[in-house]
Amino acid sequence: MISSDSHLIGLVGTGIGPSLTPALHEHEAAALGLRYLYRLLDLDALGLPPAAVGEVLAAARLTGFTGLNVTHPVKQLVIEHLDDLSPDAAALGAVNTVVFRDGKAIGHNTDVSGFARSVGAGLADAPLDHVVLIGAGGAGVAVAHALLTLGAGEIRVVDTDRSRAGTLAAHLRRRFGADRARRADDLATALRDADGLVHATPTGMREHPGSAVPPELLRPEVWVADVVYRPLDTELLTTARARGCRVLDGGRMAVFQAADAFRLFTGLEPDADRMLRHFDSLAREDAHVPN
């Protein structure tokens, strides 16, 4: 249990200027009576490559940060610079939350619980027999574990880096069973009889516009989820909705993973419903911000 009522938190990644995470954390901290500063540590703005994440981690530890959130593209690169990992982070090989405690940097992953809770809230009765996952990076790893933990029958992993897709599929088979995951090299074939599709790459963000899925592949029977939350209505989700698909935006995952990270940083229980309401207000304001 962390007893301090004052916390300095940071977010490390690239292109993170538009992130709503700082506002989410600081608003909830204020409601709980905490002094809480959340700072962006954008590697692009700092002129540093992703490989320099260890230097940023060391500086944050030295200057008294309580912890860090970690996002694309350093969720896996950060691991070698940590002292220990939670069981979930170790199983995934990806970290999105680092807590500095008792002189150690401990890595956690709240993306798994965040996505699982998001599916429970927005796709509770959706079929999960065959799910296509686009993206085998840090977010994709978390999504795959969440889906298989929720009872998905088979995950078909698609990535522009086929080796990375194969590595993730092999890892999932070792942990969940030989028939639970495979690499899929052709998206059209993978989607032909799929129940659902989860997109877990930066494509669709304002800084990376576009869609990873040709519209003609989106059958109305396929549900579509996106981990991108800025904008909430990505090109993929807009197209999927227009074609009759049930959709799940990235907003709930963003809130639930933030709530779980907040708990790790402070030792206090955040009010997830309050955070959801705040996120909705931020998203409405954000929708009117010009690209």
pLDDT digits (tens, 9 = 90+) for 214-228: 999 999 999 999 999
pLDDT digits (tens, 9 = 90+) for 133-160: 999 998 999 999 999 999 999 999 999 9
Taking the C-alpha atoms of residue 251 and residue 78, their distance in angstroms, rounded to an integer, is 25
The residues, ordered by sequence, that sit 6+ positions from 198 with a Cβ below 8 Å of its Cβ are 131, 132, 133, 134, 143, 147, 224, 225, 226, 227
Catalytic residue among 7, 27, 61, 75: 75
289 pLDDT band, cuts 50/70/90, is low
The rounded distance, in Å, linking the Cα atoms of 268 and 178 is 39
Cα dist. 96→37, 52, 190 in Å? 18, 16, 29
Among this protein's residues, is 75 annotated catalytic?
yes
Least-confidence region, from 16-25, 70-79, 90-99, 282-291: 282-291
Mean pLDDT of the chain: 95
Which residues, 6+ apart, have CB-to-CB distance to 242 below 8 Å? none
Per-residue pLDDT tens for 150-186? 999 999 999 999 999 999 999 999 999 999 999 999 9
Q: What is the distance of C-alpha 184 from the center of its chain?
A: 22
Claim: this prediction has a pTM higher than 0.75: yes
* Cα separation, 155 vs 287, whole angstroms: 32
CA distances from 61 to 4, 57, 64, 124 (A): 16, 6, 6, 40
List CB contacts of 60: < 8 A, sequence separation 6 or more: 10, 41, 68, 100
